[in-house]
């Protein structure tokens, strides 16, 4: 629960700004994917312990964080496309 409140607070802070940077989107996506992985691990432990309620609850939290992570990743990708990067600059950055 505390993590959900923290995520909502961070989101509210970001929404107060007029612009969310590409870096912020990537960072938030990473946080949500890490939280999803953690919740999946806890769901597996709960299932092994025979606690189906906790298994389903943790599975739902994992799914919710995965969706949020995907949304932030998509926002970053769309914003990067809007920046107008071309293949030449991408190749220079890779070297």
**Residue of 68, 66, 40 lying closest to 54 (CA atoms):** 40
| pLDDT at residue number 20 | 79
pLDDT in tens, 18-56: 577 999 999 999 999 999 999 999 999 999 999 999 999
Contacts of 66 (CB under 8 A, 6+ apart): 32, 33, 36
pLDDT in tens, 75-90: 999 988 777 665 555 5
Q: Which two tokens stand for residue 35?
A: 């939280």
Q: Measured between alpha carbons, how far is 36 from 60 in angstroms, rounded to an integer?
A: 9
Q: Measured between alpha carbons, how far is 85 from 66 in angstroms, rounded to an integer?
A: 27
**Residue of 9, 23, 17 lying closest to 75 (CA atoms):** 23
pLDDT in tens, 51-73: 999 999 999 999 999 999 999 99
């Amino acid at each position: 629960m505390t993590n959900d409140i923290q995520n909502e607070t961070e989101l509210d802070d970001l929404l107060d700004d007029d612009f969310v940077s590409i870096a912020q989107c990537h960072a938030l996506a990473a946080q949500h994917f890490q939280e999803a992985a953690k919740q999946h691990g806890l769901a597996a432990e709960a299932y092994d312990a025979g606690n189906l309620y906790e298994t389903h609850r943790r599975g739902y939290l994992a799914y919710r964080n995965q969706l949020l992570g995907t949304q932030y990743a998509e926002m970053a990708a769309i914003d990067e496309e809007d920046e107008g990067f071309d293949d030449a600059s991408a190749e220079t950055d890779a070297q």
